[in-house]
Homo-oligomer: A and B are copies of this chain.
Amino acid sequence: MGRTAGRGAGDTRRLVLDAASEVFRTRGTGATLDDVARQAGVSKGGLVYHFPSKDVLVQALVAAMLEEFRTAVHACLDPDDDQPGRLVRAYVRASLSLPDTGEAREASALIAQLVTAPEVAEVARADAARWKGDLAADGLPADVITLVVSAADGASVAPLWGATLRDDERDQLVARLVGLTTEAAQDR
Protein backbone atom coordinates (compact mmCIF):
# COMPACT_ATOMS: atom_id res chain seq x y z
CA MET A 1 0.00 0.00 0.00
CA GLY A 2 1.26 3.47 -0.78
CA ARG A 3 0.03 6.83 0.37
CA THR A 4 -2.83 6.60 2.85
CA ALA A 5 -5.95 8.43 1.69
CA GLY A 6 -7.50 11.05 3.95
CA ARG A 7 -4.35 11.87 5.86
CA GLY A 8 -1.59 14.29 5.00
CA ALA A 9 2.10 13.73 5.65
CA GLY A 10 2.05 16.25 8.47
CA ASP A 11 -0.71 14.30 10.19
CA THR A 12 1.30 11.11 10.08
CA ARG A 13 4.36 12.92 11.40
CA ARG A 14 2.39 14.14 14.39
CA LEU A 15 0.91 10.67 14.89
CA VAL A 16 4.41 9.24 15.11
CA LEU A 17 5.61 12.00 17.43
CA ASP A 18 2.68 11.47 19.78
CA ALA A 19 3.31 7.74 19.80
CA ALA A 20 7.01 8.30 20.50
CA SER A 21 6.11 10.58 23.40
CA GLU A 22 3.83 7.95 24.89
CA VAL A 23 6.14 5.00 24.35
CA PHE A 24 9.46 6.59 25.33
CA ARG A 25 7.98 8.28 28.39
CA THR A 26 6.49 5.09 29.78
CA ARG A 27 9.10 2.57 28.71
CA GLY A 28 12.24 4.70 28.45
CA THR A 29 14.60 5.24 25.56
CA GLY A 30 15.18 1.52 25.38
CA ALA A 31 11.79 1.12 23.72
CA THR A 32 12.05 0.10 20.08
CA LEU A 33 11.04 1.77 16.86
CA ASP A 34 8.74 -1.20 16.29
CA ASP A 35 6.91 -0.24 19.47
CA VAL A 36 6.58 3.36 18.37
CA ALA A 37 5.44 2.41 14.87
CA ARG A 38 2.85 -0.02 16.23
CA GLN A 39 1.54 2.59 18.67
CA ALA A 40 1.30 5.10 15.83
CA GLY A 41 -0.46 2.59 13.57
CA VAL A 42 2.21 2.96 10.91
CA SER A 43 4.73 0.53 9.48
CA LYS A 44 8.32 0.81 10.61
CA GLY A 45 9.24 1.90 7.12
CA GLY A 46 6.65 4.63 7.28
CA LEU A 47 8.11 5.90 10.51
CA VAL A 48 11.57 5.93 8.99
CA TYR A 49 10.24 7.90 6.03
CA HIS A 50 9.54 10.82 8.40
CA PHE A 51 12.40 10.30 10.86
CA PRO A 52 15.40 8.79 9.09
CA SER A 53 17.01 7.59 12.31
CA LYS A 54 16.12 7.03 15.93
CA ASP A 55 18.32 9.97 16.90
CA VAL A 56 16.37 12.31 14.68
CA LEU A 57 13.08 11.10 16.13
CA VAL A 58 14.32 11.57 19.66
CA GLN A 59 15.58 15.08 18.99
CA ALA A 60 12.30 16.08 17.40
CA LEU A 61 10.48 14.70 20.43
CA VAL A 62 12.61 16.68 22.87
CA ALA A 63 12.02 19.89 20.95
CA ALA A 64 8.27 19.22 20.91
CA MET A 65 8.19 18.53 24.64
CA LEU A 66 10.08 21.68 25.57
CA GLU A 67 7.76 23.70 23.37
CA GLU A 68 4.74 22.04 24.93
CA PHE A 69 5.87 22.98 28.44
CA ARG A 70 6.38 26.57 27.37
CA THR A 71 2.86 26.65 25.98
CA ALA A 72 1.50 25.14 29.20
CA VAL A 73 3.16 27.87 31.28
CA HIS A 74 1.73 30.61 29.10
CA ALA A 75 -1.70 29.02 29.41
CA CYS A 76 -1.31 29.36 33.20
CA LEU A 77 -0.79 33.12 33.03
CA ASP A 78 -3.44 34.89 35.09
CA PRO A 79 -5.08 37.56 32.90
CA ASP A 80 -6.01 39.61 35.98
CA ASP A 81 -2.44 39.58 37.28
CA ASP A 82 -0.32 42.45 36.01
CA GLN A 83 2.15 42.53 38.90
CA PRO A 84 5.84 41.67 38.57
CA GLY A 85 6.36 37.92 38.86
CA ARG A 86 3.30 36.87 36.89
CA LEU A 87 5.38 34.62 34.63
CA VAL A 88 7.13 33.05 37.63
CA ARG A 89 3.74 32.37 39.18
CA ALA A 90 2.52 30.79 35.96
CA TYR A 91 5.68 28.64 35.90
CA VAL A 92 4.94 27.44 39.43
CA ARG A 93 1.35 26.61 38.59
CA ALA A 94 2.24 24.82 35.37
CA SER A 95 4.96 22.77 37.07
CA LEU A 96 2.84 21.74 40.00
CA SER A 97 -0.74 21.78 38.81
CA LEU A 98 -2.34 18.51 39.77
CA PRO A 99 -3.55 16.97 36.52
CA ASP A 100 -0.34 17.03 34.49
CA THR A 101 2.17 16.60 37.28
CA GLY A 102 2.73 13.00 36.27
CA GLU A 103 3.32 14.12 32.73
CA ALA A 104 5.84 16.74 33.85
CA ARG A 105 7.73 14.09 35.76
CA GLU A 106 7.77 11.68 32.83
CA ALA A 107 8.87 14.49 30.57
CA SER A 108 11.80 15.41 32.76
CA ALA A 109 12.67 11.75 33.20
CA LEU A 110 12.83 11.39 29.46
CA ILE A 111 14.92 14.50 29.00
CA ALA A 112 17.21 13.25 31.73
CA GLN A 113 17.64 10.04 29.78
CA LEU A 114 18.55 11.90 26.67
CA VAL A 115 20.94 14.60 27.76
CA THR A 116 23.83 12.17 27.53
CA ALA A 117 23.55 12.84 23.80
CA PRO A 118 25.38 16.12 23.11
CA GLU A 119 22.92 17.42 20.50
CA VAL A 120 20.03 16.94 22.88
CA ALA A 121 21.98 18.53 25.71
CA GLU A 122 22.57 21.59 23.54
CA VAL A 123 18.88 21.95 22.68
CA ALA A 124 17.98 21.70 26.37
CA ARG A 125 20.67 24.22 27.34
CA ALA A 126 19.38 26.74 24.81
CA ASP A 127 15.85 26.30 26.09
CA ALA A 128 16.99 26.76 29.69
CA ALA A 129 18.82 29.96 28.76
CA ARG A 130 15.66 31.26 27.14
CA TRP A 131 13.68 30.52 30.31
CA LYS A 132 16.29 32.27 32.43
CA GLY A 133 15.97 35.39 30.29
CA ASP A 134 12.19 35.35 30.22
CA LEU A 135 11.91 34.83 33.96
CA ALA A 136 14.52 37.50 34.74
CA ALA A 137 12.50 39.99 32.68
CA ASP A 138 9.53 39.33 34.91
CA GLY A 139 10.41 42.08 37.39
CA LEU A 140 11.32 40.11 40.52
CA PRO A 141 14.60 40.17 42.47
CA ALA A 142 16.98 37.52 41.15
CA ASP A 143 17.30 35.63 44.42
CA VAL A 144 13.54 35.23 44.72
CA ILE A 145 13.34 33.85 41.19
CA THR A 146 16.12 31.37 41.95
CA LEU A 147 14.44 30.17 45.11
CA VAL A 148 10.94 29.89 43.73
CA VAL A 149 11.88 28.29 40.41
CA SER A 150 14.26 25.84 42.08
CA ALA A 151 11.53 24.77 44.47
CA ALA A 152 9.03 24.34 41.64
CA ASP A 153 11.53 22.33 39.62
CA GLY A 154 12.48 20.21 42.60
CA ALA A 155 8.90 19.40 43.54
CA SER A 156 7.96 18.52 39.98
CA VAL A 157 10.86 16.15 39.38
CA ALA A 158 11.11 14.65 42.86
CA PRO A 159 8.78 11.80 41.83
CA LEU A 160 11.68 10.74 39.62
CA TRP A 161 13.40 9.25 42.62
CA GLY A 162 10.15 8.26 44.24
CA ALA A 163 9.61 11.31 46.45
CA THR A 164 6.04 12.26 45.66
CA LEU A 165 4.38 15.09 47.57
CA ARG A 166 0.90 14.60 48.96
CA ASP A 167 -1.74 16.81 47.35
CA ASP A 168 -2.05 19.03 50.41
CA GLU A 169 1.71 19.41 50.64
CA ARG A 170 1.86 20.44 47.03
CA ASP A 171 -1.02 22.90 47.36
CA GLN A 172 0.64 24.45 50.39
CA LEU A 173 3.91 24.72 48.49
CA VAL A 174 2.26 26.42 45.53
CA ALA A 175 0.54 28.90 47.85
CA ARG A 176 3.78 29.67 49.63
CA LEU A 177 5.78 30.10 46.43
CA VAL A 178 3.16 32.38 44.92
CA GLY A 179 3.11 34.29 48.19
CA LEU A 180 6.86 34.78 48.09
CA THR A 181 6.63 36.31 44.64
CA THR A 182 3.83 38.74 45.50
CA GLU A 183 5.60 39.88 48.69
CA ALA A 184 8.75 40.47 46.70
CA ALA A 185 6.81 42.40 44.10
CA GLN A 186 5.29 44.68 46.76
CA ASP A 187 8.62 45.27 48.49
CA ARG A 188 9.98 46.95 45.44
- Which A residues are within 8 Å of any B CB, using their own CB? 26-30, 108-109, 111-113, 115-117, 121, 124-129, 131-132, 142-143, 146-147, 149-155, 157-158, 160-165, 169, 172-173, 176-177
Contact = CB atoms under 8 A, between A and B. Distances in A.
A113 B157 contact: no
Taking chain A's interface residues, is the majority helix, strand, or loop, or is none over half, making it mixed?
helix
Given A109-B112, A154-B157, A161-B108, A176 B27 contact: no
Contacts of A131: 163
A70 to B, nearest CB: 13
Nearest to A107: B161
Contacts of A121: 162
A150 B162 CA distance: 13
A161 B124 contact: yes
A103 to B, nearest CB: 15
Which interface residue of A117, A154, A177 has the most chain B CB atoms within 10 A? A154
A176 B172 CA distance: 20
A176 B163 CA distance: 23
